[in-house]
Amino acid sequence: MSYRILSVTVGLMLVLFGLSDLPKAQEQQVLNPIGKLDLGGSKVNGFLFTADGKLIFASVSVGRESSVFLVGASTADVKKFYGKKIRGCPVAGEICLVQIRGNINPQDLAYNEAKKVLFIPGYDDDTLYFSQVVFDKEGNPTEARAAKKVSVGAGPRAVAVNAEGTRALTVNEREHTISVVDILYKGDAPDKGEVIATIKLDPVEEAPTYPSPADIVIKGDKAFVVNTDTWKVCEIKNINAESEKVKKGEEKIELGACVDTGAYPRAIAMLGDTAYVINSLGDSISQLSLEPLASKAEVPVGDAPRGITTDNQCWVVVTNTGVDNAEQPQASLSFIHQGLERIITAPITPLELGDPIVPTQVQVLVKGNAKEVWVLNIGARGEILIYSAPEAVKTCP
């Protein structure tokens, strides 16, 4: 409740300081799903595409005994699954890619194209897992090698990995830290992980701010961390520093500048040198420049936004859960042009009339002149809904 009061106060301040002229979200016709990826009624925690858009990885929790991470489907055929038979896999006749014993409650996952490695933070067991995916001659994934693991800070919620697949950073929500992890290889296969640095996000012990890091992205030699409870984004500098120099104290990977966002930021996405952050209690997104890190603008979207992504061209896409509207909750998608001059908000429906819909994570799949928006619906377990993007979003104005 206190966050909601604060977010209303922030909104009033924006009006008082003359920012009320920022573009408002234009209502669009309702978007109906053109299909869905059904993952067997299990709890889906996250998903992402390969760079070529042909495959989707999804992380799934199964009961108390195991968490399964699988190649969910070819994006050209959402009924085709890959992997091998693993006992306990809930999908497609027990065909899964890799299974990790223990319900680790993963909140995120990452995939490195260069090394073909999946990275999975275990939120409940304070561990980062990583597993190399094996492909056949036709380019189909057949299995994932046994997962390696390394202990990180408490409550790793999200992970980001450098382009080489040799360094990973986890945001540790319960510990208010960032773990910097070297991924060591034998030949082409990952062998083990080693934490070379731990970055405190509230370094002044006499006056702790208790930030809750929720998301992280990497650009060049910096990482950018979303801090939910302090309403800030902070940079981590020199993340590519040489390992031995860091361990000897000759170089530092350290906390840099921080900037304010809107109320209760949850996730971040990048387009070029610009970042966009969703503010779940501010019903808005914040636009940030990254070099140097600075707040540029805050614009409204739909009610209680939760997920954010881009089309890697010129549009930012946000899921709005609608859960804060007790009288008439309405899930929606907001499409924001990178310059913020145009915002389209479109209500979305479930595939089956009457099914619950609470959209969270989102990805955009570009298919020629068309774009599909894939949305994780936590209102229905095991479901990713697929929508066609509005006509205006298919091109760059």
As for how many domains the chain has, the answer is 1
Asked whether residue 356 is assigned to any structural domain, the reply reads: no
Asked whether residue 213 is assigned to any structural domain, the reply reads: yes
- CATH number, domain of 65, equals 2.130.10.10
pLDDT band at 79 (very low <50, low <70, confident <90, very high): confident
Q: How far is CA 299 from CA 60, 82, 132, 311, in A?
A: 33, 41, 40, 19
The domain in which residue 183 lies consists of 46-260
Asked whether residue 349 is assigned to any structural domain, the reply reads: no
Asked whether residue 179 is assigned to any structural domain, the reply reads: yes
* pTM tops 0.85, yes or no: yes
Q: How many CB atoms lie within 10 A of CB 369?
A: 7
Who wins on pLDDT, 6 or 352?
352
R_g over Cα of the chain: 20
For every residue of 81-121, DSSP letters joined together read --SEE-TT--STTTEESEEEES-------EEETTTTEEEEE
Q: Which of 79-88, 97-106, 156-165 has the lowest mean pLDDT?
A: 79-88
Q: How many CB atoms lie within 10 A of CB 237?
A: 15
Average pLDDT for residues 209-228, to the nearest whole number? 94
Average pLDDT for residues 265-279, to the nearest whole number? 97
Asked whether residue 384 is assigned to any structural domain, the reply reads: no
The pLDDT assigned to 75 comes to 83
pLDDT at 129 over 80: yes
In this structure, are residues 153 and 179 in contact, taking their beta carbons and an 8 Å threshold?
A: yes
Type and span of the H or E element at 125 = none
Asked whether residue 359 is assigned to any structural domain, the reply reads: no
The pLDDT assigned to 93 comes to 56
Asked whether residue 320 is assigned to any structural domain, the reply reads: no
Q: How many CB atoms lie within 10 A of CB 288?
A: 22
The pLDDT assigned to 3 comes to 42
pLDDT at 13 over 60: no
The pLDDT tens digits for 230-268 are: 999 999 999 999 999 999 999 999 999 999 999 999 999
Asked whether residue 327 is assigned to any structural domain, the reply reads: no
